[in-house]
Amino acid sequence: MNPTLEIFSQGEEIVTGQTVDTNAAWLSQQAVACGFTVTRHTAVGDKLDDLIVLLQDIAQRADCCICTGGLGPTSDDLTAEAVARAFNLPLQFDAIAFEQISRFFVNRNRIMPASNRKQAMLPQGAELIKNDWGTAPGFSLHYGRCWFAFLPGVPMEMMNLFQESILPTLPTRFLLQPGQLVSIKTFGLGESVIQERIHSIEIPAEVQLGFRAGTDDVQTKLLFPFAYSQSAMTALVARLAEPLGDYVFAIEGLGETVGDLIFEIDKLMTARKHTLAIVETASHGLLAAKCIGLEWLLSASYQQATARLGTKIDTESLITAAKALAVDLQKAGGADYVLVQLYAGDNQTLHNKDQSIVVYNILLAGDTFQQATHSIAGPIKRKQNQAALLALDLLRRYLQDKAISD
């Protein structure tokens, strides 16, 4: 029997619907992957009495509770006070917490407002959880049946604290028998197409099959029971990946460290020690933005005049123009690879979610061109993101092909 876990989110912005509670979903996925049974999510606003009652209920009901929000410096941040009252654990000044909050301001050359001192007041006996990403430290404590961890509500801070400070301690606190999750990561195939392609493959009843369509990939997920045979697992994954072909850019959960599309490209580019220059149009800077901190990107540019080529000339001329641009850039810049993107459409087509643009991505490597043409529909930000990903995927396919043929 798995230990039970509840998610508790605090904040008016959540109960009033100003913010969608993505924290709860993210934490639940993490908890399920660890071997918990997640039984409930609750969100309440900034009302002390509601918080107190809820904390007391959860202390009797669940084995573990992850709480987010309400740790800020302002008067509507009530979590620590609610915990203090719910469990009769008076707030005490924590010198280490205070030092960390102060350091946050010192590092940014800012003076700490007096209100931030409140964040160093923790319920008696609580264990501090360091926060390197913001001012709000987290804390944990055990009460009744339940071990509680309190994290800030800002998603980036919450995720970092969970991964650094909570996740590693869970196996010592709970008897966890997590299933083994394998994700086949693809880009360019829809969920229903994937389902069709793998339809005839038999999956044992004890293995759970699921899909997750994100903005940057579609993941085909297999959850194997704890202690499932490693070789049977590998064999089933291979059978499922086969009909998905080179749409698969990574398989997670079989040992190798894998990441998103850009992570996989970075591995390959770094291994080859090659460099890249790009010309963006429909992706409008987003392609470069996704490559921040990666040494192999030498240059990126967007020119409205270049983007507007797609309103003036036909498909064939667009491809010719893209190739010519790539050759020019190769001569000028000294990058090993040049990626040029043009698209057929105008600014109005880009904005209209019911109209498609046709994106031409051209990759010049040495003296050979790779080419991919795609039609992209939907809201402008989707078109932008898909245009960036399709360009990156062209590079990824080329690099993976090269890695195999070398």
Ordered DSSP codes for 126-177: PEEE--SSSS--EEEEEETTEEEEEE-SSHHHHHHHIIIIIGGGHHHHS---
Give residue for tokens 């107190």: 52
Residues 373 to 392: which contact its own copies by CB under 8 A?
A: 375, 377-382, 384
Residues 165 to 224: which contact its own copies by CB under 8 A?
A: 190-193, 195-196, 209-213, 215
372 is an interface residue for its own copies by CB under 8 A: no
331 is an interface residue for its own copies by CB under 8 A: no
240 is an interface residue for its own copies by CB under 8 A: no
20 is an interface residue for its own copies by CB under 8 A: yes
CB of 116 to its own copies, least distance (A): 6
What is residue 254's three-state secondary structure?
coil
Query: Tokens in use for 4?
Result: 């039970």
Beta carbons of 339 and 363 less than 8 angstroms apart: yes
Among 239, 312, 353, 402, binds its own copies (CB under 8 A): 353
Residues 110 to 169: which contact its own copies by CB under 8 A?
A: 113-116, 132-133, 135, 154, 156, 160
Of the pair 115, 317, the CB lying nearest its own copies is at: 115
39 is an interface residue for its own copies by CB under 8 A: yes
243 is an interface residue for its own copies by CB under 8 A: no
What is residue 67's three-state secondary structure?
strand
269 is an interface residue for its own copies by CB under 8 A: no
Query: Tokens in use for 274?
Result: 């090659």
Give residue for tokens 């944990």: 140
Among 64, 241, 251, 288, binds its own copies (CB under 8 A): 288
Measured over the CA atoms of residue 382, residue 263, residue 247 and residue 279, the dihedral's sign is: positive
Of the pair 150, 296, the CB lying nearest its own copies is at: 296
CB of 165 to its own copies, least distance (A): 15
Of the pair 27, 394, the CB lying nearest its own copies is at: 27
Query: 85: Cβ–Cβ under 8 A, 6 or more apart, which residues?
Result: 48, 52
Of the pair 291, 340, the CB lying nearest its own copies is at: 291
276-280 vs 337-344, strand pairing mode = parallel
300 is an interface residue for its own copies by CB under 8 A: yes
Rg of the Cα atoms in the chain: 25
What is residue 218's three-state secondary structure?
strand
Of the pair 39, 371, the CB lying nearest its own copies is at: 39
Among 22, 229, 270, 371, binds its own copies (CB under 8 A): 22
CB of 405 to its own copies, least distance (A): 29
- What span, in angstroms and rounded, lies between the C-alpha atoms of 401 and 351? 35
Point out which residues pair with 156 in neighbouring strands. Answer: none
Of the pair 141, 337, the CB lying nearest its own copies is at: 337
293 is an interface residue for its own copies by CB under 8 A: yes
